[in-house]
Amino acid sequence: MIYRAEEVRERFARRGLSFDPTVEEIVRGILAAVREEGDAALDRFSLDLDGHPVEEIPKKAWRQAYEDLDEELRDALETAKERIEAFYREEAKGGFLKADASGLLGQMVRPLSRVGVYVPGGSAPLLSSLLMSVVPAKVAGVAEVIVASPPRVHPGVLAAAWVAGADRLFAMGGAQAIAALAYGTQRVPRVDKIVGPGNAYVVAAKRQVFGTVGLDGLAGPTETLIIADGSASPRLLAADLLAQAEHGPDSEPWLLSPDRALLERVEVELSRQLEGLPRAEIAKRALERGGLVLTQDLEEALELANLYAPEHLCLALADPLPWLGKVQNAGGVFLGEGSPEALGDYIAGPSHVMPTSGTARFQGGLAVRDFLKVIPVMGLAEGAVKELSAKGALLARAEGLEGHARSLDLRR
Round to whole Å and give the CA distance between 403 and 121. Answer: 55
Please pick, among 246, 252, 269, 312, the residue that the annotation labels catalytic: 312
Main-chain dihedrals φ then ψ at residue 31, nearest 5 degrees: -60, -45
**Catalytic site includes residue 154:** no
Round to whole Å and give the CA distance between 80 and 349. Answer: 7
Round to whole Å and give the CA distance between 351 and 53. Answer: 31
- 345 marked ligand binding residue: yes
Terminal Cα-to-Cα distance of the chain (whole angstroms): 73
- 399 marked ligand binding residue: yes
Helix axes 71-89, 127-140, angle to 10 degrees: 40
Give the helix/strand (H/E) hosting 109.
Answer: strand 103-111
Count CB neighbours of 37 within 10 A: 13
- 312 marked ligand binding residue: yes
Round to whole Å and give the CA distance between 187 and 180. Answer: 9
Round to whole Å and give the CA distance between 126 and 319. Answer: 33
Please pick, among 223, 246, 252, 311, the residue that the annotation labels catalytic: 311
Give the helix/strand (H/E) hosting 28.
Answer: helix 21-37
- 247 marked ligand binding residue: yes
Round to whole Å and give the CA distance between 172 and 157. Answer: 13
Round to whole Å and give the CA distance between 127 and 84. Answer: 14
- 52 marked ligand binding residue: no
Q: What angle do CA 174, 286, 223 make, to 5 degrees?
A: 70
Count CB neighbours of 198 within 10 A: 26
- 328 marked ligand binding residue: no
**Catalytic site includes residue 312:** yes
- 222 marked ligand binding residue: yes
Q: 316 with 305: CB under 8 angstroms?
A: no
Does residue 223 come out as left (phi exceeding 0), alpha (psi in the -120 to 50 range) or beta?
beta
DSSP of 307-322: HH--SEEEEE-SS-HH
Round to whole Å and give the CA distance between 332 and 364. Answer: 8
- 359 marked ligand binding residue: no
Non-local (6+) Cβ contacts of 10 within 8 A are none
Write out the binding residues for Zn(2+): 244, 247, 345, 404
Write out the binding residues for substrate: 222, 244, 247, 312, 345, 399, 404
Q: Which residues are catalytic?
A: 311-312
Write out the binding residues: 118, 176, 199, 222, 244, 247, 312, 345, 399, 404
